[in-house]
Amino acid sequence: MELTSKQRAQLRGLANSAPTILQIGKDGLGENLIKQANDALEARELIKCRVLENAMLTPREACDQLSKLTRSEQVQVIGTKFVLYRQSHNKEKKDKIVLVKDKKPKV
């Protein structure tokens, strides 16, 4: 699912008040951290991650790799933090994020 600019803006707004869920340190993106990211994305759909100063990856590199490994969409990278989104497939999830849809231009 490719996010539109309006959807990214909507998700950035929601991420402002979201707590940082994952911290990436000197060990980088290990199996445990990837599992935690997948679990968090399934539960929350939108997660904020932070790259610590002693990390081997830049925030951009960590975001690129983690989004690929979790099949999530990159919402924003700013400073040492980044935000990822993945629509949950849990049908019983009550607090799903409903994204705005772009209207198709009239012809």
Question: Which pLDDT tens digit goes with each residue over 3-28?
Answer: 999 999 999 999 999 999 999 999 88
* pLDDT value of residue 94: 64
Render pLDDT for 44-93 as a digit per residue (tens, 0 to 9). Answer: 999 999 999 988 899 999 999 999 999 999 999 999 999 999 998 776 76
**Distance between CA atoms of residues 53 and 34, nearest Å:** 19
Q: How many CA atoms within 13 Å lie on the side-chain side of 63?
A: 20
Which residue shows structure tokens 């000197």? 26
To the question of domain 5-85 being in CATH 2.40.110.10, the answer is no
Output the pTM of the full model: 0.86
Domains in the chain: boundaries: 5-85
Confidence of residue 105 (pLDDT cuts 50, 70, 90): low
